[in-house]
Structure 1
């Protein structure tokens, strides 16, 4: 692998971590194809990580310059003699940044997972203790449903192995039966699709890249798409009007960190989307195609050269 390859992968990683998410977060078409847009977001995040690692691996192959016997050597003096001091310093610096990103990715993945599950476990214990059975829920499946004595309408879910859907007494007071069905369908769609795992993965990738590289709006866009997917699931059960009215009622509700709420700052955008009722199959197909190209390109570019490099190294070993 050459310095050009390392530079190309590095530039691609920076683009996919910052400018590309910034542009995508301002686009309006994801509202017409949220599932395809979420797949595209996932492809961009994974390709950014692959490109960053590929840049580091390409630099590592440059530093392993052949010694007098033709075998790769890790002697800094030989590397400096072959590359020149400025290029060697630059290569080592970029390689160190790549290693740091990899370490931060592993650390942030573990930290986000442990922190989120600890908070959910504590809150799950509280809602189980504070649950107030309500006869108005007799016609619903209540195995995972908990009711809190709170006047303000709110509805949220706690994902995990022991899933919970939490509503307040105010929610039951202010929502009609069809609206309550819509809000429960919305929350259970989150649990069924494990949208929490998608958010955790994006949060880990977001925290792994340096602040001057990553996009600030990526997480917000992914959260909105996940809410749109849950809205679509509820829409198929109850129709747009009950869901829209339920979202308006629960728009100002506050929820604990780690939970996934029906309301929130994106409520107005979601209600407008329900009124429009637009879905564009052509936009969806284009997004899926773009996601495949973005993901497959870096993967092939990584796999093929490194299979050649490994073959060459094993060839030296067996001589």
Structure 2
């Protein structure tokens, strides 16, 4: 059972060590989009380790599975894996990993259904507070202005029916290009489909709360998507403009006081925008991108190495 065991050990090491390395690095704040890419590659690598270990363990335990997994492979490739020598632990490991896969699918399904229900409810509330004008289609992409004493702006995703919502208090407080910067920030979320990243990270963390990489993925995604959207707005309207807009929208929520509330990441976002740390060089960004892309390749090499060696 050497290959499945090697895959499980590899997945465990990546799941335990990658969050520590990434959270202790200082470059993700400078390159949030690249950091999101690295986190996704790490999570995919862990999931690949589990999926490949499950397939090989099941192939060892049951002939029917073995016939499907190794159907197009020559006899020498099957013999290279020594499936009959895996022992009695193959079936329990395969069943445990299959249960984990089903649990992951269930968590993803629950998260997506919950998000759709919440989105549907919020759309119904928006239609009550801001009815459609004569001739306006319900699915049209539109800017919704709501009466409200609290300055706020958010993007309600939904594909073709996505909506940007802003309150009248925000319109009164935002000056000059600050409003355009806030709209660009929210549109940055929409174009990058950050809602899907948030749903996937939340589902994995809820399903496996004791796995460090999934908990770290959820926490960092919630932070990095905001930094990435800030950068989208700052490239068009400047760092000072979006920083002032964040202050105007959040100064009455207690986030800048000695006892900040749950949106306390706003001061860090403002400080990051005003400090204007330089981006990584193009060469270093390219190297990090390539290195991250290779992380999911390692489990594939571990899984296919015996078969490739047998084909020489």
The alignment's TM-score, normalised by the length of structure 2, stands at: 0.78
CA contact (8 A) 2:43 2:213 kept: no
Map residues 186-197 of structure 1 onto 2, 5 A cutoff. 186-197=185-196
1:29-40 alignment runs, 5 A limit: 29-40=27-38
Aligned to 2:174: 175
8 Å CA contact retained: 1:13, 1:52: yes
Q: How far apart are residue 212 of structure 1 and its match?
A: 4.8
Answer yes or no: is the 8 Å Cα contact 2:41–2:296 preserved in 1.
yes
2:51 maps to which residue? 53
Show CA shifts across 1:199-228 (max 9, x none). Answer: 222223334446255543321111211111
**What secondary structure is seen at the aligned counterpart in 2 of 1:145?**
strand
Whole-angstrom distance in 2 between the partners of 1:117 and 1:190: 17
| SS of equivalent to 1:126 | helix
Structure 1 residues 113-122 or 284-293, which shifts more?
A: 284-293
- What does residue 121 of structure 1 align with? 120
- The alpha-carbon distance between structure 1 residues 253 and 264, as it changes in their structure 2 partners (threshold 3 A), is farther
Go from structure 1 to structure 2 and tell me whether the alpha carbon gap of 1:127 and 1:26 turns closer, same or farther (over 3 Å shift): farther
Deviations 1:51-78 (A, max 9, x none): 011122232233358xxxxxx9xxxxxx
- Unmatched tracts of structure 2, length 5 or more: 64-69, 71-83, 133-139, 254-261
Q: CA deviation at 1:108?
A: 1.4
Q: For 2:191 and 2:252, how far apart are their aligned partners in 1?
A: 22
| Stretches (4+) displaced over 4 A | 212-215, 303-309
Q: Distance in 2 between matches of 1:147 and 1:216?
A: 36
Determine the C-alpha separation between the residues in 2 that align with 1:110 and 1:306.
Answer: 35
Q: Write out per-residue CA displacement over residues 86-114 of structure 1, whole angstroms, 9 at most, x where no aligned residue.
A: x52x4333222211121012111211111
TM-score with structure 1 length normalisation?
0.76
Single out whichever of 16-25 and 169-178 deviates more from structure 2.
Answer: 16-25
Aligned-residue offset at 1:46 = 0.8
State the match for 2:146 in structure 1.
Answer: 148
8 Å contact 2:15–2:211 — kept in the other structure? no
Per-residue deviation, 1:308: 9.6
Tell me the secondary structure at the aligned position of residue 11 of structure 2. Answer: helix
Q: Secondary structure at the match of 2:148?
A: coil
What is the match of residue 97 of structure 1?
Answer: 96
Sort the Cα spacing of 1:307 and 1:108 in 2 relative to 1 into closer, same or farther, 3 A: farther
Q: Which residue of 2 is the match for residue 198 of structure 1?
A: 197
Using a 3 Å threshold, how does the CA distance of structure 1 residues 98 and 61 change in structure 2: closer, same or farther?
A: same
Q: Secondary structure at the match of 2:198?
A: helix
The answer to whether the Cα contact below 8 Å between 2:209 and 2:215 also exists between their aligned partners in 1 is no
- State how 1:66-105 maps to structure 2 within 5 Å: 88=88, 90-105=89-104
